[in-house]
Amino acid sequence: MPLVGTREMFKQAYDGGYAVGAFNVNNMELLQAIADAGHEERAPLILQVSSGARKYARREYLTHLVRAAVETYPDLPIALHLDHGDTFELCQACVDDGFSSVMIDASHFPFDENVALTKKVVEYAHRHNVPVEAELGALTSTSDEPGAREAVYTDPDEAKKFVELTGIDSLAISIGTSHGAYKFKGEPTLDFPRLERIQALLPGFPIVLHGASSVPKNLVDICNAYGGKLPGTRGVPEEFLARASKMAVCKVNVDTDLRIALTGAIRKVFAESPSEFDPRKYLGPARDAVREVVRGKVRLFGCAGKA
């Protein structure tokens, strides 16, 4: 099976009441872990490549690694997605490189500028049958200042207008998630009434949650037990993600949890075997740790067994 786009993937997810896991890829071990987990759980996968990952791993290497994963598991639906593309040129290059989905993130611009840039990407990508994700709102929700969250959360009426003006295929919204390992200062909360309003205004339309890592305590504890310094981390509670996945959310992004699992496993090997210098001996266990995280995520999102 060649790389698949996300249109049909999201339609099946929306109709089936589950979300597809979107996992960030930076190197071979992460890619192998994600692909192996998807195969074991029979779950469709979205492999995400950010601009930074594309530079770090080099576009030629990444695309060939992804092709190897597709050839290894030919019956597994796999999409290759540009995460947080910030320019038309980057989105264009990824479409030309064979990505089966791209994201243009112009959410930092005023509404009209966001629309204009997004529409330009949509016009180019759709000519190549590549679906486009965009973003409205901002993932800066940790402030408890009065009105701060309302100022950055996605406005439901604007979301409807944005989709109609741009012709995008999915929309990343802000309802309380944020990037990194420190997502909440107080009690974790997601604005489900806002999600319900967006869902009502855009029936059948796929919504995306960014910054949706749970930052599990057991992973953080392993990291900290072997020399890490990650105090006071707060992620999105798993029950929130399970609930959102049964609603209009068809794609849930995960990156931080993979990084913590990978780093914790490597730290453990170095601490217990300080003379070890064979990369296979510490990257192997790291790969295994990431695979187990991904297996748990696809079960949580409800997409296990859907491939």
Contact 22, 297 (CB under 8 A): no
Candidates 178, 173, 86; CA nearest to 135 is 173
Catalytic residue among 36, 83, 169, 191: 83
Angle at 106 between CA 18 and CA 178, to 5 degrees: 50
Q: Helix-strand-coil percent breakdown of the chain, rounded to 5?
A: 50, 15, 35
Query: Parallel, antiparallel, or unpaired: how do β-strands 249-254 and 207-209 relate?
Result: parallel
For residue 81, CA distances in Å to 229, 259, 278, 286 come to 31, 19, 32, 24
Taking the CA of residue 190 as centre, how many other CA atoms within 13 Å lie in the half-sphere pointing to its CB? 25
- How many other β-carbons are positioned within 10 Å of the β-carbon of residue 2? 10
Torsion angles phi and psi, residue 256, rounded to 5 = -55, -40
For residue 85, CA distances in Å to 31, 104, 162, 239, 293 come to 20, 5, 18, 29, 26
Candidates 291, 296, 302; CA nearest to 251 is 302
Active-site annotation holds for 144:
no
- Give me the active site residues, please: 83
